Structure 1
Amino acid sequence: MENIGKGMVLRMASSILIGMTIVYLLITLYYFFTNKSFKDSYFSPVLFYKLFFVLLSLTLGFGLLYYLLSFNEQLLSINDPYGDPVEKTFGNFLYFSGVTILSVGYGDMVPVGPARFFALIEASLGLLLPTAYFIKALSSSKDKEEKE
């Protein structure tokens, strides 16, 4: 009976900490988007939203591409000594697409066949698009300085 009480307390404490963490993250994001204390801040919400929706669209598009290509052959393997194929669900391919465009991947799924080429293209876009965003933001800030 005592173990049941401890488990319930741990779950409740965990839920409270998770809730507090989510509130903290939301406050941090709110502060980031509303803080205007830096006079020379050149954050452009329009560019940020554009980048977000382009990356989201590319993630969905590549996820769909991987899913459709998987009808013809195996595209993803589990990264273990056996190399078993990943279950062919849209969710798995969307996950793979997300970790590919936002990073260099976690390594839990390995592309094989034509997915290797598309994963390289997607990872390149995930690296180059944010870079282009920052270059655009910096050039906009230089243009503003020159006009003043």
Structure 2
Amino acid sequence: MFYFLLPIVIFCIFMSLRTLFIPNTLKGKLVSVDNFLYLGTVYLTVIIGYGLIYLLFNLMNTTILVEANKNSGHNMFESSFYFSAMMLFSVGNGDVVPVGIGRFIAVTEALIGYTLPAAFVAKVMSNKNNI
């Protein structure tokens, strides 16, 4: 099941990020509800996708996330999506730490988190010039 779900999740993340590079999908004003919802959807897709990747590795008994406070009472489902959001919007708080291959996965998510706003602004500005 892991080997079936992991490529699907990675494909969904890729397709969501791919929309940033398709021309002329955002038209109109620079600040609009459509642009806000578009960016929010891309962020949500990446958070859920990476959260599922962390969770799938955990379900395969591969430890890639370790909580600093073992007595926190959070389950792995909560920790996976929390860590995904923290890595996308910042570089984490240190309360959940990646280990092993989780470090590489976290680096790719952080890279996407840093480049996503710049790609979005570039896309909106290029569409403004094409109108």
Fold in common (TM above 0.5): yes
The answer for the alignment partner of 2:112 in structure 1 is 125
1:77 partnered with 2:59: no
Q: Is residue 104 of structure 1 aligned with residue 100 of structure 2? A: no
Residues 34-61 of structure 1 show CA distances to partners (whole Å, capped at 9, x for unaligned) of xxxxxxx721432321111111011111
Match of 1:3 in 2: none
SS of the residue aligned with 1:70? helix
Residue 49 (str. 1) matches residue 46 (str. 2): no
Gapped regions of structure 1 (runs ≥ 5): 1-40
Tell me which of the two structures has the higher relative contact order, counting C-alpha pairs closer than 8 angstroms and 6 or more residues apart.
2
What TM-score, normalized to structure 2? 0.65
TM-score in terms of structure 1 length: 0.59
| Conservation of the 8 A alpha-carbon contact between 1:70 and 1:88 | no
In percent, how many aligned pairs have the same letter? 36
Q: Deviations over 1:121-146 (max 9, x none)?
A: 111111111111111222334445xx
- The structure that has the greater radius of gyration is 1
Q: Unaligned stretches of 5+ in structure 2? A: 1-28
Q: Distance in 2 between matches of 1:42 and 1:100?
A: 27
Tell me: CA distance 1:90–1:78, structure 2 relative to 1, closer, same or farther (3 Å).
closer
Q: C-alpha offsets along residues 28-84 of structure 1, whole Å, 9 cap, x if unaligned?
A: xxxxxxxxxxxxx7214323211111110111111111011013221112347xxx6
Distance in 1 of aligned mates of 2:114 and 2:33:
20
Partner of 1:58: 46
Contact 2:79 2:96 in 1 (8 A): no
Match of 1:138 in 2: 125
Runs of 4 or more, structure 1, over 6 Å off, are none
